[in-house]
Amino acid sequence: MSLPIVLEVKKVENLAPYAKKYVFEHELRAKPGQFVMVWMPGVDEIPMSIGWQTDKEFHLTIVDAGDCSKAIQEKIQAGDKLGIRGPYGNPFTYKGYKNVILLGGGCGASPMLSLAQATRAEGIKTTVMLGVRSLDYILFEDKFKELGCELVVATNDGSKGHKGYITDVLPERLEKEKVDCLYTCGPEVMMINIAKIAKDYNIKSQLSLERYMKCGFGICGQCCIDDSGLRVCKDGPVFDGEVVLKHPELGKYKRAASGLIKPFESSKGCKR
């Protein structure tokens, strides 16, 4: 069991109405798609995807999604400290590919940014598709363009790009060019439907799943997927789309800390 290291928050930046970026000066050496456990003493410890990385620092994008993340957003400022464990989990794979599409829904843009860093460093043509509520919620637009990614945006209200969902525009792109793999992170219903589209076009897909976690390295069983025993922290969080589509839980519901089933909103993040 790894113990948390205590790191000072070097910078806090507002990214969107729901998201803040926290910068840490530390060489994390995480692979795209891996995560860390973030500990706020006296509150809780939660899993967080890793965003931008260099050999000197890494960024976490934290949204107000529960007691711990809310407390971090409200109380943690530059100069304060948080505990970090990890990195954990299986990463995205991309070696040998020539053309990929990265699809981020909301704060799912953060791990897509880490992946875009890696794919562009390999010379892989990378298209990034972001789906958000409105233009105020778009994350890392400048960073993706700086990396040389083509950026496609879909907003629910039509304030920028396509009015609707990113899955509305994805099939048209797949009709026009050969794509090796689709990668996605965001609302689970959206990701499941992206996996279905990938299957329809005989394209590989990789999904970054989210579940309630306690340990982060496969011991507690809190994040197990029903009917399979697969642990999101240890066997994921990145899963092959074909594997995901075989499990009836995924895209339908997840469980709260108590084990209570929490159904997903059927229309959230995708039309299919």
Give me the residues paired with residue 50 across strands.
60
Within this chain, do residues 22 and 129 fall inside the same structural domain, yes or no? no
pLDDT of residue 222: 86
Tell me the residue range of the domain where 193 lies: 99-263
Query: Does residue 153 form part of some domain?
Result: yes
Section 188-202 average pLDDT: 96
Residues 6+ apart with CB under 8 A from 34: 50, 86, 87, 88, 89, 90, 91
Task: Provide the domain count of the chain.
Answer: 2
Query: Does residue 55 form part of some domain?
Result: yes
Within this chain, do residues 64 and 196 fall inside the same structural domain, yes or no? no
pLDDT digits (tens, 9 = 90+) for 16-61: 988 999 999 999 999 999 999 999 999 999 999 999 999 999 999 9
pTM of the model: 0.93
Within this chain, do residues 84 and 105 fall inside the same structural domain, yes or no? no
Query: Does residue 151 form part of some domain?
Result: yes
Within this chain, do residues 155 and 48 fall inside the same structural domain, yes or no? no
Q: Cα–Cα distance between 185 and 175 in angstroms, integer?
A: 22
- Of 270, 90, 117, 253, the closest CA to residue 196 belongs to 270
pLDDT of residue 1: 53
92 — alpha (psi -120 to 50), left (phi > 0) or beta?
A: beta
Tell me: cis bond preceding 237? Omega within 30 of 0 counts. Answer: yes
Within this chain, do residues 79 and 103 fall inside the same structural domain, yes or no? no
Within this chain, do residues 255 and 189 fall inside the same structural domain, yes or no? yes
Q: Please determine, for residue 103, whether its predicted confidence score (pLDDT) is greater than 90.
A: yes
Q: Write down the mean pLDDT value for the chain.
A: 92
Residues 6+ apart with CB under 8 A from 26: 5, 7, 57, 58, 84
Lowest mean pLDDT among 128-132, 156-160, 256-260: 256-260
Within this chain, do residues 159 and 257 fall inside the same structural domain, yes or no? yes
Query: Does residue 268 form part of some domain?
Result: no
